[in-house]
Amino acid sequence: MAMNREERLQAIRALKKKSPGDRVLLFSTAIFASCCALSWFALDLGLTHPVTGKSRFHVQPRFVADVIPFPLRVKDEYGHIHGKWDSDLFFGWAQETWAEIGWSGVVETVSISVLAIVLAAICAAFLVLPASRNVALRRGFLPADDEGSRWERGGRYGLFLMARSILLLLRAIPEFVWAFLLLILLGPVALAGVLALALHNAGILAKLTSESVEDLEPKPLHALAGLGAGKLAVSMLGVGPRAYRQFLVYFFYRWETCIRETAILGILAIHTLGLHIDHAFAFFHYDKAVFFILVNSAIVIVGDFLGSLARRTIRRA
Amino acid sequence: MAEAEESRLRPNLRSYWTRPWTLGLIILVATVAAGSSLDLFGDGSPEDGWVQFRLFCSAALSPTLTSESPGAYDLVPGLIEAVFTTVLVAFAAMSLAISFGFVLGCLASEAFWMVDSVVWENPGLKFSRRVLRPLLLVGIRAFMALMRSVHEIFWAILGVAIFGLSITCGILALAIPYVATFGRIYAELLDETDRDAAGALRDCGAGNFAMFVFGLLPRAASSMLSYTFYRFDCSLRSSAILGFIGFPTLGLSIHSAVRYNFYREAWTYLYVLFFVLITTEMVSGVLRRRLTAWR
């Protein structure tokens, strides 16, 4: 305990040397931060008019007038439009606007997200095991197992890399781009939206789950394999039940995002709430557009709540 | 003790919901209901869908660097500009999202408002701790939920309607939901962090603020940084998608090329987009693995 100052400093220095405070990390964080700062100077922010130099970034008067629900708009003697609150008129308008989408519009949006996430989960279930190191790269599950010839090992590694790159490709491409490409083949039908969301989310689900499969405690697997279970049996009985809960957590987490993303598929004319929003903007019906956006965000918030409730229940059980 | 005994004797009803068969049944019912309420194939299918799709797929092997339009101009300068805009918009949005998200994340964490009661129960200030602070917390979280529940694309369209078309609208539109997401996740990470260091500081006489800043933040820093890197991938994807509603990012190039049936040109843009997204994903994956090792 009795250390003089010099010794203590030396001990601290030795500790610092041992700590894996990572140069690469420090360097890349610094680059990231400077890119963030530099981006503001490198971009043409478009705040001023290129010729006149006047500020272009101000609230458009048209928006202010059009965002007031139209029965509430009143013109004053100068021709400016103001809002005048009248609850009967407002609720009448709200009811009429709601009737344009109705429950069927809401159900459609939610249905697409449910179908998409279920399809994604089915695809992901097939992709998880080939993409997790501890299952795909081994011949058996026992530590003493013979790993086979060099070709066998190479083949397994090749399959593993293939599964990984499929996942990378699936999840790196945004669902919106998938949907846009599927539009060429299918046109703006719900199936295109379902497939697009499913492809992207299958990649994410499989990747997240394969990470938790890789983190599994290996001893139960060894025990099963030691009792003579084959690779399939160990995967089904040893890996499956233990990865299942985490898979469900990710399933509900991705479902929340799916609901959020379903709406924007409307911009590609797929029949979701987003289509109504897009049309309202196209006709400059900003009052309706804001109404639909609020309806949509209510759906997303409810979905978020249900999803996190499910996740919490699963974690606790 | 008594509580543990009770929960052991009483069948845990909650766990029935997570049995494979129960959940499978719920999901199956939801799927069937969704499938039956949805007209999957619609009547919007294009007549020449297969023809166009075959053309599109065969163009994948021959991407081009000169435009397929009658002008046959060089695509490279426009391509480079689009890539730069995509990346820069993502960075600019991230800089806003991280800074505001960090503040909101601290404010939305239980640890910030109730550090001492988390470390140990403090009987004083009951009203503030039981009523005022939870209310404030719920208010902040509801505000963030509202920001997050509107998709960045809709924020962008709304922004363009309000302020006119400029890149700034795109940046702000990306930043708004990302601020809220960062706030939520940072708050969760802060609340999940071990309180050991904070407790030790408390024993040395540190106040709540010092406990939070020196006991909790450094402890949560690595997982917060890891999430930030992950989120950059997402912001890059979103920034590319902003092109589909008219911002000059890669999405705009893809959109216009496909709309004019210039499939070879479209594939050039698509390959560049894939390259950018996959590279970022791999780099951030490496960084995140390093961060986990460091933690």
CATH code (residue A175): 1.10.3720.10
C-beta contacts of A53-58 below 8 A and 24+ residues apart:
A56/B164, A56/B166, A57/B163, A57/B164, A57/B166, A57/B168, A58/B163
* DSSP label at residue B60: G
Determine the Cα–Cα distance for residues B134 and B273; give it in Å rounded to an integer. 44
**Chain B residue at shortest CA distance from A298:** B149
pLDDT per position as a tens digit, A26-37:
888 899 999 999
Mean pLDDT (chain A, rounded) = 86
Residues in chain A closer than 8 A to B50 (CB atoms): 185
Amino acid at site A141: F
Residue A120 lies in a domain: yes
Q: Are B200 and B124 within 8 A, CB to CB?
A: no
Give the per-residue pLDDT at B1: 43
A32 CB within 8 Å of a chain B CB: yes
For residue A188, the model assigns a pLDDT of: 86
Q: Check if the beta carbon of residue A187 is closer than 8 Å to that of residue B44.
A: yes
Burial of A133 (0-12, 13-18, 19+ CB in 10 A): middle
Greater confidence, B50 or B153?
A: B153
User: Is A227 near chain B, with CB under 8 Å?
Assistant: no
Mean pLDDT within A277-303: 92
Residue A265 has pLDDT above 80, yes or no: yes
| Cβ atoms within 10 Å, residue B242 | 28
Distance CA B132, CA B153 (A): 36
pLDDT reported for residue B125? 58
A286: contact with B, CB 8 A cutoff? yes
Pick from B150, B170, B146, B144: which is nearest to B159 by CA? B170
The CA distance from B44 to A196, in Å, is 17
Task: Estimate to the nearest angstrom the gap between the alpha carbon of B295 and the chain centroid.
Answer: 23
What residue in B sits closest to A240 (Cα-Cα)?
A: B20
Candidate from A46, A115, A180 with C-beta closest to B35 = A115
Instruction: Please name the residues in contact with B38: beta carbons below 8 A apart, sequence gap of 6 or more.
Output: A108, A111, A112, A115, A190
A296 pLDDT band, cuts 50/70/90, is very high
With CB atoms and an 8 Å threshold, state whether B40 touches A174: no
| CA-atom Rg of chain B in angstroms | 25
**pTM value surpassing 0.90:** no
3-state class (DSSP) for residue B41: coil
Residues of A in contact with B44 (CB under 8 A): 187-189, 269
Would you call A297 and B149 a contact, using CB atoms and an 8 Å cutoff?
Answer: yes
Q: At residue B11, does pLDDT exceed 60?
A: no
- Asked whether the beta carbons of A109 and A272 are under 8 A apart, the reply is yes
**For the residues A247-257, what does the mean pLDDT come to?**
91
Instruction: Give a yes or no: residue A52 inside a domain.
Output: no
In a domain, A5, yes or no: no
* Spatial distance between the Cα atoms of A220 and A205, rounded to a whole number of angstroms: 24
The per-residue pLDDT for range B187-203, each reduced to its tens digit, is 989 888 888 888 888 88
In which band, very low, low, confident or very high, does the pLDDT at A129 lie, cut at 50, 70 and 90?
Answer: confident
Q: Does A228 fall in a domain?
A: yes
Residue A229 included in any domain: yes
Domain that holds residue A308: 88-316
Residues 6+ apart with CB under 8 A from A305: none
Residue spans of beta strands (DSSP E) within B100-221: none
A26: in domain: no
The percent of residues above 90 in pLDDT, for chain A, comes to 34
For residues A86 and A107, the model is more confident at A107
| Chain B residue at shortest CA distance from A273 | B154
| pLDDT(B120) > 60 | no
- The C-alpha atoms of residue A253 and residue B282 are separated, in whole angstroms, by 22
Contact A56 B164 (CB under 8 A): yes
User: A 101-120 residues with CB below 8 A of B?
Assistant: 104, 107-108, 110-112, 114-115, 118
Q: Which of B253, B226, B229 is nearest to B86 (CA)?
A: B253
Average pLDDT, integer, range B278-290: 88
Residues A19 and B294: their CA atoms lie apart, in Å, by 8
Mean pLDDT of A305-311: 87
Q: Is the pLDDT of residue A74 over 50?
A: yes
More confident residue, A196 or A8: A196
Count of pairs with CB atoms under 8 A, one residue in A, one in B: 217
pLDDT in tens, A192-209: 999 999 999 999 999 999
The answer to whether position A116 is within a domain reads yes
* Cross-chain CB nearest to B151 (options A173, A248, A260): A260
Q: Write out pLDDT tens, residues A12-71.
A: 787 776 665 667 888 888 999 999 999 998 888 878 877 887 887 888 888 888 888 888
Is the Cβ pair A115, B232 closer than 8 Å? no
Judge: A42–B88 Cβ closer than 8 Å, yes or no: yes
pLDDT for residue B89 is more than 90: yes
Q: Is A195 inside any structural domain? A: yes
Dihedral sign for Cα B206, B207, B209, B212, please.
positive
User: Which regions of chain A does DSSP assign to beta strands (E)?
Assistant: 73-75, 81-83
> How many angstroms separate the CA atoms of B233 and B282, rounded?
10
Number of domains in chain A: 1
Cβ count near A89 (within 10 Å): 14
* pLDDT at site B163: 87
Counting residues of chain A whose pLDDT is more than 70, the rounded percentage is 96
Distance from CA of A83 to the nearest CA of B (A): 17
